[in-house]
Amino acid sequence: MRDGGRLAAAIEVLTEIETRRRPVRLALKAWGDAARYAGAKDRAWVSGLVLDALRRRRSVAWRMGEDTPRAAILGVLAFVWNWPVEKIAEAAADAPHGPGELSNAEWSALRGAIDLDGAPDAVRGDYPDWLDASFARVFGEARAEEGAALAERAPVDLRVNTLKTDPERAMKALATFEPVAPGLSPNAIRVPAPDPSARSGAVEAIPQFGKGWFEVQDLGSQLAATAAGDVKGQQVLDLCAGGGGKTLALAAAMANTGQIYAYDSDARRLTDTVRRGERAGVRNLQVRTPLNKDPLKDLKGRMDTVFIDAPCTGTGSWRRHPDTKWRLTPDALEKRQKDQDQVLDDGASFTKAGGRMVYVTCSVLPEEDEDRVAAFLERHPDFTRRPASQDPALIRFLTPAGDLRLTPRTSDTDGFYVAVLEKAP
């Protein structure tokens, strides 16, 4: 495909997302199925442009002077991909497949006639206006910068599975991807974010991935799992296990001692957990499915550690799922808070005296984080908040209350919040 056709395709996909509120993954798939002539590089190019347009939707609209799919795509080429205006104009006017010649207003905007000086924080930070009060509570005067960091492209992070190998061997196996050690965790490896217009290689395709040497897992998620502390020999319940990423991280930390139970209220989310556990060499895992009657009844009051990766809005993962920030609503946020209160209460019933709960969200919103912990402690005075980490490398990310807060701007990870709650002996 020529650049003009790619441009038109990106505008078409973005229009489909905005008018029909389709998830970006489905909209890109629908375009790809219809555009059989598009090669792998064309699909990567269109996908990268659409995702960057979703990441920077508000700031680009401000600079372009209009909020349309066409303005977003053209603006990203100029302000994010750094294309010269002349190159953009040539591609747009490329008949018959380009989206059409630039207008005088577009020429002016793309040359930088409007900058972000004086723009509201929500515009500079590329997040919805209705979330500004929440961002202000957490980040204060830095909220625009924090939002902008959540609008960057994310790297691919890997967790080395110490049940199968060590970081040095894993690094060698990944050499073709030019991996780096991101710091903060000795078992983390990072593959830097690729050029948005390029097709990136799949780390899952190398043989060592199939052998269970490593798992794809954001560094923030890895650090959240370490908040469980020393879990060797313990009885551990992962109450919202989902696909099993943190379950496997906990299992590796346990070194196949003790017992880890994985549960999720949605049985479909557990389908890969057993297979992933077998590949990772985990031998102390029990998967408890909600399809069985009272699947966790025998665990009441017995768990040393209850790990709660709570259902949340996912605001901390906007770098990877930029379309979700524009679909989020106040009603959805309110529903998630009710879910979080319920899962915390459930977790308390499984925690033994002297045991602990680890409450985790991939959200940066205080309504899902500090507020939920405060409400839980009011309902359960037998629990006490404890520092979420004793690791010297992580102490700088602790809140005044002792909870762990990670963000792309401060820790170069996805956004995560972790609170550790200990039950009285």
Cβ atoms of residues 187 and 164 within 8 Å:
no
DSSP 35-51: -TT--HHHHHHHHHHHH
308 class by beta-carbon count within 10 Å (0-12 exposed, 13-18 middle, 19+ buried): buried
Residue 309 labelled as part of a binding site: yes
CA-derived radius of gyration, the chain = 23
Sign of torsion, CA 400 402 403 405?
Answer: positive
Cβ atoms of residues 262 and 285 within 8 Å:
yes
Cβ atoms of residues 154 and 193 within 8 Å:
yes
312 part of the active site: no
Sign of torsion, CA 230 235 240 241?
Answer: positive
What is the token pair recorded at 86? Answer: 């002349």
SS3 at position 261: strand
**Catalytic, out of 72, 362, 373, 406:** 362
Cβ atoms of residues 161 and 214 within 8 Å:
yes
What is the token pair recorded at 48? Answer: 């990268």
Q: What are phi and psi of 75, to 5 degrees?
A: -65, -40
What is the rounded CA–CA span in Å between residue 407 and residue 147?
10
Residues designated catalytic:
362
Q: Which residues make up each annotated binding site?
A: 264, 309
Q: Which residues are annotated as a binding site for S-adenosyl-L-methionine?
A: 264, 309
